[in-house]
Amino acid sequence: MKTRLLAATALAAFALAGCSTMTTDRVASTDARPAAAAAPAIPQATGYFAQDSSLPFHAPDFTKVSEADYVPAFEQGMAIQRAEVAAITANPEAPTFENTIVALENSGKLLGRVGRVFYALTGANTTDALDKIDEEMSPRLAAHSDAINLDPALFARVKAVYDNRAAMSMSPEDARLLERTYEEMVHAGAMLTPEQRERVKAINTELSTLATQFGQKVREATVAGAVFVTDKAQLKGMSDADIAAAAKLAAEKGKPGQWAIALQNTTQQPALPSLENRALRERLFMASLHRADGKANPAHDTRVLLAKIAALRAEKAGLFGNPDWATYAMWDRMAKNPKTALDFMNQMVPALAATQRSDAAALNAQIKKEGGNFTVKPWDWYRYANKVKAERYQLDEDKMMEYFQLDKVLEDGVFYMANQLYGLNFTRRNDLPVYHPDVWTYTVFDRDGSELGLFYFDPFQRPSKRGGAWMSNFVEQSHLTGNKPVIYNVLNIPKAAEGSPQLVSFDNVNTMFHEFGHALHGFFADQKYESLSGTATARDFVEYPSQVHEMWATDPKVLANYAKHYKTGETIPAAMIDKIEAAGRFNQGYDFGETVEAALLDMKWHALSAEQAAAIDTPAEVDAFEAKALGETGLEVGLIPPRYRSTYFNHIFSDPEGYSSGYYSYLWTQMLDHDSRQWFRDNGGLTRKNGDHYRATVLSRGGTMDYFEMYRNFAGREPTIQPLLEARGLTGGTPTNASTSDDGAGAAKISAKKQ
Q: Are 608 and 595 in contact (CB under 8 A)?
A: no
Q: What is the CA radius of gyration of the chain?
A: 25
DSSP state of 546: H
The DSSP-derived string for 381-450 is: HHHHHHHHHHHHH---HHHHHTT-BHHHIIIIIIHHHHHHHH--EEEEE--S--SSTT-EEEEEE-TTS-
581 is catalytic: no
> Which backbone phi and psi does 487 adopt, to 5 degrees?
-125, 145
User: Of all helices (H) and strands (E), which one includes residue 94?
Assistant: none
**Is 123 exposed, middle or buried (CB count within 10 Å of its CB: 0-12, 13-18, 19+)?**
buried
Of the chain, the end-to-end C-alpha distance in Å amounts to 30
Q: Which of 108, 590, 138, 521 is nearest to 358 (CA)?
A: 590
Q: Cβ neighbours of residue 221 under 8 Å, at least 6 residues apart? A: 291, 292, 296, 297, 300, 302, 648
Q: Which residues, 6+ apart, have CB-to-CB distance to 33 below 8 Å?
A: 153, 156, 157, 160
Single out the catalytic residue among 515, 530, 550, 636: 515
Rounded to an integer, what distance in angstroms lies between the CA atom of residue 197 and that of residue 207?
15
Question: 580-592 in b/e burial notation, b at 16+ Cβ within 10 A?
Answer: beebbebbbbbbb
In sequence order, which residues have a C-beta less than 8 Å from that of residue 423 and are 6 or more positions away?
446, 447, 688, 691
Rounded to the nearest 10 degrees, what angle do helices 349-369 and 378-393 cross at? 80
Euclidean distance between CA atoms 387 and 318, whole angstroms: 51
- Residue 621: CB partners within 8 Å, gap ≥ 6? 307, 615
How far apart are alpha carbons 310 and 304 in whole angstroms? 10
**Catalytically active residues, by annotation:** 515
